[in-house]
Chain A
Amino acid sequence: MPAMEWLLHKVNLIRIEDKSVQLHLSFSHLPRITSKETIVLLNEEEQQIAALMPGLAINNWTSDKLSRVWMLMQLPADEKETYIKKISGLFAAAEMNEQIALYAALPLFHYQEEWITKCEEGIRSNIAPVLEAIMYHNPYPAKFLSQPAWNQLILKAFFTEKDISLIVGINDRTNEALTLALKDYIQERLAANRSIAPEIYQLTQQIKP
């Protein structure tokens, strides 16, 4: 069965079930059908996506990631409690690539404010690609995280040596508390004779010594 046909068939089953059996099975089974190749995106498709949801970019996504996110977007959302329960159930038993898809899908879920805790939890992950799914090209954190949680994300990004330029809203959400924490971090790194990422200076608008 071609992948698209398989996906449509599974989504039909998922949309009508009360429980989450089909959802769990197809969500984990999916990469065996779709492959894990990196998708090829036309320039105009990139532009369309950027226009539909500023900050979101899916250029380096793989087929399975894209298909999983698409599958999540097909979940019926009319009953809030059921919707949240089903997605939370997927988070609970997710392997790494599933976590990546789930966190990348945050800006596309319904009931947007309900996922803040999930997002904060994800920032605590030690798995680099999972953190990147939250941090890179994902408009959700900048839009919904409280200031302390946002600051935690930025500090963690520096601490885990992420590419800061890929974080959506990095310049718009600077704040005094973050600047102070970053300045402390600079002092700490200097005291330890460790290198300092140039972006920290840009963000705190300090002159590099």
Chain B
Amino acid sequence: MCCNENFEERNLGEKITTSLDLSDISGMKFFDPHVHMTSRTTDDYQAMADAGIVALIEPAFWLGQPRTGIDSFIDYYSSLIGWERFRSSQFGIKHYCTIGLNSREANNEQLAEQVMEILPQFIFKEGVVGIGEIGFDDQTAAEEKYYRLQLDLAKEAALPVQIHTPHRDKKKGTQRSMDIAIEQGHAPNMVIVDHNNEETVKEVLDRGFWAAFTIYPFTKMGNERMVEIVKQYGSERIMINSAADWGISDPLAIPKTAALMKKSGISLADIELVTFRNAITAFAQSGQIDEQDFLKIKHIDQSQKYANNSILRGGQQPRLNKNSIIIS
């Protein structure tokens, strides 16, 4: 979740016309455990696939403005397991999601009650790898109430929890999120604490939780800072994500950070843990991640013919040449 209003400053800068060079990391596989694809374009999907992202997790969140009725939640959750997952598969990327009531909308108690009633319908769906993103925004009483209730639900369903930590009063909010998870009976290894920074990481790791870092321009972590964190804390239980959404964010945050880590002399084994393996280990505790599926979905042959017709099977997207002025 973003936002910044420095558009004047942004637009003043020179337009960048150079192209991105990710050759340092070509052949590597990446897993983005936090990215809101419903807000992204097909160009993003194509670029992510090209940069080596083989699978992703889309946490349920708010839409940039509050929903006004329960049906909006139902439609949103079912789009995460339906249309969006199909859209992703067209680019050879395996799509998972976490389902939950986000902290901002937990403050609309009347609606939150109704959401709690429909959540059980969704948490056992195929490819739902956790309850998320839940936790604190403003750290209100209502937020705490629905955070606790959803922690109970996660426990009952034996699902990992993906915690959003607040932008404001972050350190205390993060501590409180962990305290409450423990109070509700969760083992730290079932909890992924997201949006960490230099101030929160030590305690999160010391207490045995997973520490996720969001590489998000301007408002969250930059990736040079991330390199320093991996140098200092190593790669155990640390993972990075893009949290790309409708704000100015970067769905290539993981491959770019991997490239920067490599340039900075971090070992390939550590890079692999932070950009791929740790996220899988954490969320596979749901029993819903099978790495074979990453390959299966990749093996979509775009030119495969069916019954002698040059029909694209399964609706795979043909590649668009972005560098041509011709659109055919």
- Judging by beta carbons under 8 Å apart, are A93 and B309 in contact? no
Residues of A within 8 A of B85 (CB): 95-96
A93-B74, A93-B77, A95-B82 known; A165+B311 contact, CB < 8 A: no
A126 lies within 8 A of chain B by Cβ:
yes
A95-B78, A160-B315 known; A29+B124 contact, CB < 8 A: yes
Residues of A within 8 A of B125 (CB): 28, 93, 95, 98
What separation, in Å, do the CA atoms of A28 and B127 have in the docked complex? 11
- Judging by beta carbons under 8 Å apart, are A94 and B314 in contact? no
What separation, in Å, do the CA atoms of A97 and B127 have in the docked complex? 11
Taking CB atoms and an 8 Å cut-off, the chain A residues in 82-101 that contact chain B are: 92-99
B121 lies within 8 A of chain A by Cβ:
yes
Residues of A within 8 A of B86 (CB): 96, 126-129
- Judging by beta carbons under 8 Å apart, are B78 and A197 in contact? no
- Judging by beta carbons under 8 Å apart, are B78 and A163 in contact? no
Taking CB atoms and an 8 Å cut-off, the chain B residues in 165-199 that contact chain A are: none
- Judging by beta carbons under 8 Å apart, are A93 and B314 in contact? no
- Judging by beta carbons under 8 Å apart, are B314 and A96 in contact? no
Residues of B within 8 A of A28 (CB): 121, 124-126
Please, how many residues of chain A have a CB less than 8 angstroms from a CB on the other chain? 24
What separation, in Å, do the CA atoms of A18 and B94 have in the docked complex? 37
- Judging by beta carbons under 8 Å apart, are A127 and B82 in contact? yes
- Judging by beta carbons under 8 Å apart, are A99 and B82 in contact? yes
Chain A residues touching B, majority SS:
helix
Residues of A within 8 A of B306 (CB): 163
Q: What's the interface size class on B, roughly?
A: 20 to 34
What separation, in Å, do the CA atoms of A24 and B121 have in the docked complex? 6
What separation, in Å, do the CA atoms of A194 and B166 have in the docked complex? 52
Question: How near does chain B come to A134, taking the closest CB pair, in angstroms?
Answer: 14
The winner among B77, B120, B315 for most chain A CB atoms within 10 A is B315
Closest to A161 in B: B311
Residues of B within 8 A of A110 (CB): none
A162 lies within 8 A of chain B by Cβ:
yes
What separation, in Å, do the CA atoms of A160 and B307 have in the docked complex? 16
B62 lies within 8 A of chain A by Cβ:
no
B240 lies within 8 A of chain A by Cβ:
no
B294 lies within 8 A of chain A by Cβ:
no
A25 lies within 8 A of chain B by Cβ:
yes
What separation, in Å, do the CA atoms of A28 and B124 have in the docked complex? 6
- Mask, B81-112, CB within 8 Å of A = 1, is 11101100000000000000000000000000
- Judging by beta carbons under 8 Å apart, are B307 and A163 in contact? yes
B122 lies within 8 A of chain A by Cβ:
yes
B153 lies within 8 A of chain A by Cβ:
no
Taking CB atoms and an 8 Å cut-off, the chain A residues in 122-138 that contact chain B are: 126-129
A208 lies within 8 A of chain B by Cβ:
no
- Mask, A93-129, CB within 8 Å of B = 1, is 1111111000000000000000000000000001111
What separation, in Å, do the CA atoms of A31 and B81 have in the docked complex? 15
Please list the 8 inter-chain residue pairs (A to B) with the smallest Cβ-Cβ separation, ordered nearest first.
A128-B315, A95-B81, A127-B86, A161-B311, A28-B124, A28-B125, A93-B121, A95-B125
Given contacts A29-B124, A126-B86, A127-B82, 20 further A-B contacts (CB under 8 A): A24-B120, A24-B121, A25-B120, A25-B124, A28-B124, A28-B126, A92-B74, A93-B74, A93-B78, A95-B82, A95-B125, A96-B86, A98-B125, A126-B83, A128-B86, A129-B314, A160-B315, A161-B309, A162-B311, A165-B307
Interface residues of B (CB under 8 A from A): 74, 77-78, 81-83, 85-86, 118, 120-122, 124-127, 287, 306-307, 309, 311-312, 314-315
